[in-house]
Chain A
Amino acid sequence: MLPEYGSLQPATLEEAIGALAGVDDVLPIAGGTNVVMAMREGEHQGKMLMDVTRLAELRGIRLENGYVVIGGGTTAAELLDSALVAEHARPLHQAAQVFANPLIRNRATVAGNIADASPAADTAPPLLALGAEIELVSATGGRRIPLDQFMVGVNQTMRRPDELIVTVRWPVPVARSAGAFHKLALRKGSACSVLSVAVMVGVDGSGRISKARIAMGAVAAKPIRAYTAEGALEGQVLAGDAIEQASRLAAEAAQPIDDVRSTASYRQRMAGVLTRRLLTEVAAELGQE
């Protein structure tokens, strides 16, 4: 049987939202790095494919009311080229550097990476560490959902079929803050992560941690935050025992599985190791060690 698809190419956000309204068979497509592959496997039959790459409202990276706001259609290559991202979202910039390969980076978008909700999505741990929110728009209005709630499980999100991801935003980090990301993979280029960890730490005037976020990919059914580890860091100076304790708690928060890339026990252990390395790196940057 021949695959049956329809196609739409809206020129404005209004047109796109209108097409999504009241139906559940319209599938937004941008870079196609997930969708076209799935189509090749026989998925999405009968869907109306809606190309969102021409919507100006989904483009651009800007500062707005204390937030860094990026259009959902921002590609990984555009993250890499953005001075704003490099300055205000170092973990995300580092993730863009190791995101697949240049051919994929020129097409794959942030909204697509998040909407696909792979447990190993490269942009997810950095965006969780930054405290990102997902802005969705539909014909009945808009809403913002914190990323840690938005992703529900493997390839599952809170997005309704009539909603489109328009922007992703996170608060501009406080003046004294630092963050870092590391992806452990089986080779340097074009790899899916064994696991990844992102951290973001802000300190107050006395040098104590005012806000800490630790996020991990490919260690659970969805990218997760290590809330207990984060809580243990608050009010502490980022050094020795505090780093050891947070790393141990991060490893405990991981619920990994065995798969083709690695084993559960290795991932569990490395969740702690990577957290310790990243926190140590961040502490040096904040002048705390």
Chain B
Amino acid sequence: MTPKPVILNVNGRTHHVALEPHITLLRALRELGYTDVKNGCEKGDCGACAVLLDGAAVNSCLVLAWQADGADILTNAGLGTMDNPHPLQRAFADHGAVQCGYCTPGMIISAKALLDQDPDPGEGEIREALSGNLCRCTGYGQIFEAVKVAAADIRSYDARAHDVRREEGGE
């Protein structure tokens, strides 16, 4: 079996790797050090391995790494840093949405995909968007709350940015 050359663009960094055909994107990402992508069930049930693949939230355990050749991949770690967290990451930490933390990266990726499409989702939309992500500490209430807080945070930030642009005569 011959390893296949594959280019993976992860969180803005380009990796040239050689991978055997059965290696999943999940395994490849973890080998490359992106251990924020969690291996939960490895059969598409739990969502712990969710990443954005060209902007769409997917289970990386069901994508063969070579199928993602050349694609843009965003993981939870690519959204923000400890010093400068993404509003979703800050809201999850501030509102008790993290207990053991294993489901958190996948939850945040699914929430990011939702907010990219709908900046002001209702409770029903949030529940549906996160329905592929399991939390076995059963902290769903706080998770839904954190997504609402982050959504409001992003909307007010976008509104302020809009006002700044107007004051600067940009619009």
Chain A: residues with CB nearer than 8 A to chain B?
A: 2-7, 9, 29, 31-33, 36-37, 39-40, 49, 51, 53, 77, 100-104, 106-107, 188-190
Contacts and interface: CB of A to CB of B under 8 A. Distances in A.
Interface of B: 1, 4, 20-22, 24, 42-45, 47, 50, 53, 56-59, 61-64, 66-67, 69, 110, 113, 127-129, 131-133
Contacts of A102: 57, 110, 113, 128-129, 131-132
6 contacts: A5-B20, A9-B66, A51-B66, A102-B57, A103-B44, A104-B132
B50 A5 contact: no
Interface centre among B47, B62, B66, B113 (most CB of A within 10 A): B62
A103 B50 contact: yes
Which 7 pairs, one residue from A and one from B, show the smallest C-beta to C-beta distance?
A101-B132, A189-B131, A103-B132, A7-B21, A5-B21, A106-B56, A101-B131
Contacts of B43: 37, 40
Nearest to B134: A190
A9 B71 CA distance: 14
Contact of B58 (A4, A6, A51, A103): A103
Contacts of B53: 106
Contacts, number: 84
Given A37-B43, A104-B44, A51 B110 contact: no
B1 A32 contact: no
B128 A7 contact: no
A53 B67 contact: yes
**For the complex, would chain A's binding face be called helix, strand, loop or mixed by DSSP majority?**
loop
A107 B1 contact: no
Contact of B24 (A36, A107, A190): A36
Contact of A4 (B1, B47, B64): B1
A103 B64 contact: no
A190 B47 CA distance: 11
B64 A32 contact: yes
Contacts of A107: 58-59, 62-63
A3 B61 CA distance: 17
Contacts of B44: 33, 36-37, 103-104
B55 to A, nearest CB: 10
Contacts of B132: 100-104, 189-190
A190 B4 CA distance: 34
B163 to A, nearest CB: 32
B62 A7 contact: no
Contacts of A100: 132
Contacts of A31: 62
B37 to A, nearest CB: 13
A2 B42 CA distance: 18
A65 B126 CA distance: 40
A49 B64 contact: yes
B93 to A, nearest CB: 23
